[in-house]
Amino acid sequence: MSGAHYLEALTTFYSDLAVDSMALMRTMREDLKGGKFEFKQWTGRSLSLMIDACEGWYGAVLSGASAPVPTVLLEATTAGDCNAETVRIVVGENQKLQKTDLMQLGGSASIKAAHLHVEPAERGIAVDLRIKGLQGKAKSKAPTLQPGLYQGLVYSGSKPLMIVLLRVEP
């Protein structure tokens, strides 16, 4: 990688990281003003931003490293209540988003990929992510949620786009 391209890549990455950081702080300020602030949610978002920043720094040191894959933390209860997140990623206009089942880490439970709802929010730059069908009228179709941490992947072709973590609490 030439010096000019390397500098351009670094500038682009850290500019995007700064925009994400500003958006996180703006949303946090709005939640504080509106009385909707939840510490657990902001801890997860802040950790995700910190991990992206660290991986970007390592990528700058190791010039052959690829761009970081964002990690998204969703939280649910065993009753089926779950939050939603909007994730900033680059998605091509004709890219088909695929997803894996969410597998429980350290356990044998899973949540089928059909329950993970991924939908473009803004053309090419953001994706809405939520878990659907965890509760409802058709209890036989809703998965039985066991407390724990679940992990899955959203990808397109052979390119991973985001890692999804779901924490289920009793």
CB 72 within 8 A of CB 49: no
pLDDT of res. 139: 43
As averages over each run of 10 residues, the pLDDT of the chain (170 residues) reads 63 78 83 83 81 72 66 81 77 81 91 84 68 53 77 88 87
Q: Residue 79, Cα to own-chain centre: how many angstroms?
A: 22
pLDDT of res. 66: 62
pLDDT of res. 100: 93
pTM above 0.95, yes or no: no
